């Protein structure tokens, strides 16, 4: 039985992510929510979920000494980042007056443009909240059984802009076209919430549980 750790740094949606993982684990994987570095480092796979502000997230990671733990895990374990779990991997975020990220993937986090208008002259709402299409940019084991253009559930005011096209696994359109999934080697990170995305989200989580970290 493989050991799956959901990283606990104080985010509010950890339990819903853990429950969704338990649903698709079907008793074949042990799901643990923890902030203990030793347990995390001994896990087979790591999930880094989150919602809220990045400043508080990074502060909590540093206080719990989980920033270095994440960097160690990313060297060798299948790793799934969700929402802030994607944004925190970037080098820098505009949020909270400017916040340094973990710098694992080259890219930045930018706030959606205020008062932008759609083709019907309606103002886009911020945060982007609801279902939107995810366009796959490259093949990946986590997309197995998920059609290109499938809709997933989003809640965010900031978006990721990658420096390297090769790191973009999917894009989504809202005010602008932005990176909604990033991947490199054993890292896969997404802006949307699979735990809130019904069957497509559960399919992605199940794919992660079966993924060995190779492409």
Query: Would the pLDDT of 12 be above 70?
Result: no
Query: Would the pLDDT of 117 be above 70?
Result: yes
**How many CB atoms within 10 Å of residue 213?**
15
Give the number of residues written for the chain.
215
* Angle value at C-alpha 67, between 27 and 187, nearest 5 degrees: 55
Answer yes or no: 193 catalytic.
yes
Answer yes or no: 195 catalytic.
yes
Answer yes or no: 91 catalytic.
no
CATH of domain 2-209: 3.40.50.880
Token output for 188? 């896969």
29, 73, 156, 195: the active-site residue: 195
pLDDT digits (tens, 9 = 90+) for 151-188: 999 999 999 999 999 999 999 999 999 999 999 999 99
pLDDT digits (tens, 9 = 90+) for 119-133: 999 999 999 999 999
29, 73, 83, 156: the active-site residue: 83
Q: What residues contact residue 210 under an 8 Å CB cut-off, 6+ apart?
A: 141
pTM of the model: 0.96
């Amino acid at each position: 039985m493989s050991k799956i750790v959901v990283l606990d740094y104080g985010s509010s949606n950890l339990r819903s992510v853990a429950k969704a993982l338990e649903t698709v684990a079907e008793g074949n994987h042990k799901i643990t929510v923890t902030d203990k570095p030793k347990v995390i480092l001994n896990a087979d796979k790591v999930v880094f979920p989150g919602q809220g502000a990045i400043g508080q997230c990074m502060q909590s990671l540093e206080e719990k000494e989980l920033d270095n733990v994440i960097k160690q895990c990313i060297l060798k374990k299948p790793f799934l980042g969700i929402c802030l779990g994607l944004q925190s991997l970037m080098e820098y975020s505009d949020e909270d007056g400017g916040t340094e990220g973990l710098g694992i993937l080259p890219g930045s986090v930018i706030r959606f443009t205020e008062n932008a208008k759609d083709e019907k002259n309606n103002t886009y709402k911020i945060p982007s909240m609801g279902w939107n299409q995810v366009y796959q940019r490259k093949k990946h084991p986590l997309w197995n059984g998920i059609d290109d253009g499938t809709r997933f559930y989003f809640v965010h005011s900031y978006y990721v802009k990658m420096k390297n096209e090769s790191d973009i696994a999917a894009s989504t359109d809202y005010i602008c076209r932005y990176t909604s999934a990033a991947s490199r080697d054993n890292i896969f990170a997404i802006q949307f919430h699979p735990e809130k995305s019904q069957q497509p989200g559960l399919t992605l989580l199940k794919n992660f549980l079966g993924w060995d970290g190779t492409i």
